Amino acid sequence: MSMQSLEDLFVDKLKDVHDAEKRITRALPKLIKAASSEALSNAFEKHLQETQQQIDRLEQIFGDLGKSPGRKTCHGIMGILEEGEETLGQNAPEAVMDAALIAGAQEVEHYEISAYGCLKTWAEVLGKPDVVSLLERTLDEEKKTDETLTKLAGTINSQAKDGAESEHHATVMMPTRRGGNGSSRATGRSSKH
């Protein structure tokens, strides 16, 4: 497409973030499954629902502008999600894996915060107040998600560190959400803890 105006730039970025959100809705179910901390899994679940609403908001904006989302590829998010896939393939104690999942998810949120921040500013400059308020709602959700992840990291990073300090029973020390049978990483619980 040609990018001759701020409006063109705005629509191009909107397409980019639409593709990003679609990819994120496909990635989040894997994070929900992989997280051992129930609080973390719930946070991913909540954000999946928000992300679906964010896609609806974007499609509302496209409709209002008389544009279509098209088939743009968001290479930035694609790269972040590919690294996330690599993380999921690693063998790690539960809390270490959770810490890694948080780090990856925060990369996604920071990318989105940056993208929606630009979009919101451009919509202001272009004089589109209805679009601004839709983008602002999404931007707030991304910021809140980032804050929630930071809070969860406070506990999970400490658990990951404690696990590493007594590596020989790292797998039995980590609290497990699903008990001994359903988890692929936990081997059981220690009666001492």
| Residue 148 in the binding site for Fe ion (CB under 5 A) | no
Helices (H), the chain: 6-34, 38-65, 75-88, 94-125, 129-165, 170-173, 179-182
| Residue 171 in the binding site for Fe ion (CB under 5 A) | no
Q: Are 93 and 159 in contact (CB under 8 A)?
A: no
Interaction residues for Fe ion, span 50-69 (CB under 5 A): 51, 54
Q: Are 96 and 160 in contact (CB under 8 A)?
A: yes
Q: Shortest approach of Fe ion to residue 29 CB, angstroms?
A: 14
Q: Shortest approach of Fe ion to residue 93 CB, angstroms?
A: 27
Whose tokens are 């973030």? That residue is 17
Nearer of residues 136 and 162 to Fe ion, judged by Cβ:
136
Q: Shortest approach of Fe ion to residue 55 CB, angstroms?
A: 8
Nearer of residues 137 and 178 to Fe ion, judged by Cβ:
137
- Using CB atoms within 10 A of its CB, is residue 37 exposed (0-12), middle (13-18) or buried (19+)? buried
For residues 152 and 135, give the distance between their C-alpha atoms in angstroms, rounded to a whole number.
26
Q: Are 23 and 51 in contact (CB under 8 A)?
A: no
DSSP 127: T
Q: Which of 142, 149, 152, 170 contacts Fe ion by CB under 5 A?
A: 142
Nearer of residues 74 and 170 to Fe ion, judged by Cβ:
74
| Residue 19 in the binding site for Fe ion (CB under 5 A) | no
Q: Are 13 and 115 in contact (CB under 8 A)?
A: yes
Q: Given the rule CB under 5 A, which of 66-74, 77-85, 139-147, 159-167 is the region that contacts Fe ion?
A: 139-147
Q: Given the rule CB under 5 A, which of 49-57, 148-156, 161-169, 180-188 is the region that contacts Fe ion?
A: 49-57
Q: Which of 19, 94, 98, 112 contacts Fe ion by CB under 5 A?
A: 112
| Residue 37 in the binding site for Fe ion (CB under 5 A) | no
For residues 136 and 150, give the distance between their C-alpha atoms in angstroms, rounded to a whole number.
21
Rule CB under 5 A: which residues touch Fe ion?
51, 54, 112, 142
